[in-house]
Structure 1
């Protein structure tokens, strides 16, 4: 397993400061500048348009591996009252992961079947489009680097709170207006470079398959409707991903009842989201007592740095904070930006409880597969979300899967942190096994990798704290460990 890097990295920050857009109607950080240009989503760097303060009780369903030879990470939201949309996303994510791992055909894991030019990788991330009134919109962005196209697929999922039903994107258009809507799309597409009548007809003439091709539609802040097409669907692959925008005045007469409400909640959102949830949202995570200044000298005492990746998660992170407080143990949380934007209160509680919060990218990609600009965006947007939640800029980052090279180091001034002990808790969801791994393998001054998105991993922490405390260990943050060695 990779070893940690204890030496700080002093490199100049690049330009291109991209931050996550969290206000209603704001474009994602990678939006195309023109209306009918490349698709708004590029690579696996997604943003958020909705006002996330309206989301109460949301749970981010995340999973990932730490296997650098077969890296995968999936994430989607579970919003109270919107079980049908959650079920649709869960089903699609499950199918994609099974296909990537080769589980859909049986036999040993194939990790995409064959290595892509940059190595295999599957990443499924999310962004909220609308969370207002009785309308919820979520976009999942999938990057599969073993794909024959560009590996990027986007899909918008809609939930109609009034009807309590999941709606695909084409559900924004009234049944009787769909032919007129498709004709307008064809007209906008006909003069686009790389688009031919044959490719458009193949995608849009078959009424039974339209849902599959028209699967990413969302409104702008002005009420226009943007339709995104994956590479190779309505154009030849070299043309890339294609986006078409239909003006509000054109598209409004064609909208279904739900489409009209989705448009209104995008342009003029209500003060709250009400999907008729039958259960009470989880309470805000409370901060635990700060143990105060840490005077431990790790050059003399036995220290261990527990680190927790991929959160924050609810209720797991809140439970973990209580366990750590019982032993006055400090830890370092390597948080994922899209989760920070959804749960800033939990990140604040981590800092207020005396812990360290560090950067783990926006949505857990293999950073070495990205361009320098994408790496900067991944890290800078996450740092901005952490600062917005806590008032403090992080100084450390952990590259997902431990994948780091000179390009990644040059893209940030954050200091990288790897690990000494990998619990493999993503593979073995067994509290006793996780605890045994830490207790048997950890040595003084080691950095231990655990994930606070897994209930079994959090359940293992009390035994780790109890046993190692009895053996004379002190639990410190990574920064404190570095500073005192």
Structure 2
């Protein structure tokens, strides 16, 4: 896995169906998956959204595979000062990815090849001395929806990573769990007799009660993944306690999280000793591109999955030196974290395209989910650049009639696949492009990989000497 600044993420959770489940005492519906709610829906914590662009030194750790039989995209944030929390997320994500790769990407499973793993994240709180993150996993190789959530917390005062149960005082955890069981026993699909065995053991309790967030009014919501406390067919269960009920149970840390969730104090201070400086390109070229691809040999370099810091800034510097134009297919959660890099791309004359919010296979989503993935990303791009995108690249190149019908954006695939996600070798990536490049080709690369960015100067130098002109996809299409 690698680090690059991001965000994530600000994955806005909280669809209407999840809110209804919290209030009515019924299992959450499959459609209430975090990150699939429409743009503008309530955040998971029911309170203030967290702007990841305001978190100083934010980085994102990413790992992905574009292989048709082994598709996965995983990301989680790394915040300066919260290294212990980052380590906990890293351990869990790497374990999930390794399990998926072993079970779905080898032997007969790989031959069948249709499963997908997607791990994304959102910030629940990032204010004062508390930080909260929820990781959302959808594992296509698992039974049912394959949806699971876990929350991770960091206590800047004590410089310690915290679990969800640490929001509750240790002396009150038995009372809290008893109250959980009472609420769950009346739910359809829950075996009341098995709850004691599931929740009474302290070690098992921490693993099961691993997704808790505060609501805007100070209440506490616990969400249980499919099959954890009920039959798998029942899907998720959501239990919410009002502020008055949880007040006697909360730990000191829980009280601070409750306060910073409902009324953020502003800045985040976890006592970090070093915060990376914002990444900006050294050189830019902003003059209009007047290249006529009907008269000269053109090629379109495209870069997926960014922006990433510092890689994207370095790439912009390389492109400027050759007055080359490119098209960036950006991931919405990364745009939210680094709008300044997307703005720099646009100001330098490059084209910004849409690559979904958090890189799922769009063909596996409903039309509403597809629209949400693309519209949220387009909104973030327009907020950063002042211009709405007209192109989109479907993750994994997966597109069908349902996806096309859900958007007015024009899909863009590619002619040359560098497979730079697999070959982290700058010389190999450069040689692939140089050897395969033909007039009017669209080349697929990723600006989240340092090795891919390092390959660009050789590509620009060699192909420029051969008479190629580097243009955006839209300019290339205009001449075809």
Task: Tell me the TM-score normalised to structure 2 length.
Answer: 0.91
Distance 1:472 1:439 in 2: 12
Indicate the residue corresponding to 2:453 in structure 1: 458
Indicate the residue corresponding to 1:145 in structure 2: 140
Distance 1:199 1:288 in 2: 63
Whether 2:389 is the aligned partner of 1:391: answer no
Judge conservation of contact 2:15–2:34 (CA < 8 Å) in 1: no
Distance 2:283 2:321 in 1: 9
Judge conservation of contact 2:123–2:132 (CA < 8 Å) in 1: yes
Alpha-carbon deviation of 1:63?
2.2
Indicate the residue corresponding to 1:159 in structure 2: 154
Judge conservation of contact 1:112–1:146 (CA < 8 Å) in 2: no
Deviation sequence 1:94-128 (CA, Å, 0-9, x none): 11111111189xxx735967969xx2111111111
Indicate the residue corresponding to 1:13 in structure 2: none
Whether 2:227 is the aligned partner of 1:241: answer no
Indicate the residue corresponding to 2:51 in structure 1: 51
Taking only aligned residues, the RMSD between alpha carbons, in angstroms, comes to 2.3
Judge conservation of contact 2:217–2:243 (CA < 8 Å) in 1: yes
Indicate the residue corresponding to 2:33 in structure 1: 42
Judge conservation of contact 2:50–2:123 (CA < 8 Å) in 1: yes
Alignment of 1:383-462 (within 5 A): 383-462=378-457
Query: SS where residue 204 of structure 2 aligns?
Result: helix
Indicate the residue corresponding to 1:6 in structure 2: none
Task: Say which of 100, 106, 109 aligns to 1:109.
Answer: 106
Distance 1:287 1:218 in 2: 41
Distance 1:191 1:124 in 2: 32
Deviation sequence 1:393-439 (CA, Å, 0-9, x none): 11110001111111111111110000111111111100000000011
Judge conservation of contact 1:310–1:451 (CA < 8 Å) in 2: yes
Query: SS where residue 295 of structure 2 aligns?
Result: coil
Distance 2:111 2:58 in 1: 36
Alignment of 1:274-313 (within 5 A): 274-286=269-281, 288-313=283-308
Judge conservation of contact 2:63–2:75 (CA < 8 Å) in 1: yes
Q: For structure 2, list consecutive stretches of 5 or more residues without a partner in the other structure.
A: 1-7, 38-42
Distance 2:71 2:245 in 1: 44
Whether 2:463 is the aligned partner of 1:468: answer yes
Using CA pairs below 8 Å that are at least 6 residues apart, which structure has the higher relative contact order? 1
Indicate the residue corresponding to 2:4 in structure 1: none
Indicate the residue corresponding to 1:95 in structure 2: 95
Whether 2:65 is the aligned partner of 1:65: answer yes
Judge conservation of contact 1:332–1:477 (CA < 8 Å) in 2: yes
Structure with the larger helix share: 2
Q: For structure 1, list consecutive stretches of 5 or more residues without a partner in the other structure.
A: 1-19
Indicate the residue corresponding to 2:85 in structure 1: 85
Distance 1:327 1:215 in 2: 51
Judge conservation of contact 1:100–1:110 (CA < 8 Å) in 2: no
Indicate the residue corresponding to 1:210 in structure 2: 205
Judge conservation of contact 1:21–1:27 (CA < 8 Å) in 2: no
Indicate the residue corresponding to 1:5 in structure 2: none
Judge conservation of contact 1:171–1:258 (CA < 8 Å) in 2: yes
Alpha-carbon deviation of 1:205?
2.1
Deviation sequence 1:269-308 (CA, Å, 0-9, x none): 1120011111133225258433322111112211111111
Query: SS where residue 124 of structure 2 aligns?
Result: strand
Which 10-residue stretch deviates more, 198-207 or 39-48? Answer: 39-48
* 1:386–1:361 distance in 2 versus 1, CA, 3 Å: same
Judge conservation of contact 1:327–1:465 (CA < 8 Å) in 2: yes
**How many residues in Structure 1 have an aligned counterpart in Structure 2?**
459
Query: SS where residue 102 of structure 1 aligns?
Result: helix
Task: Tell me the TM-score normalised to structure 1 length.
Answer: 0.90
Distance 1:111 1:311 in 2: 33
* 1:287–1:248 distance in 2 versus 1, CA, 3 Å: farther
Distance 2:373 2:102 in 1: 29
Distance 2:463 2:154 in 1: 48
* 1:89–1:70 distance in 2 versus 1, CA, 3 Å: same
Indicate the residue corresponding to 2:342 in structure 1: 347
Query: SS where residue 65 of structure 1 aligns?
Result: strand
Distance 1:373 1:339 in 2: 22
Indicate the residue corresponding to 1:322 in structure 2: 317
* 1:294–1:407 distance in 2 versus 1, CA, 3 Å: same
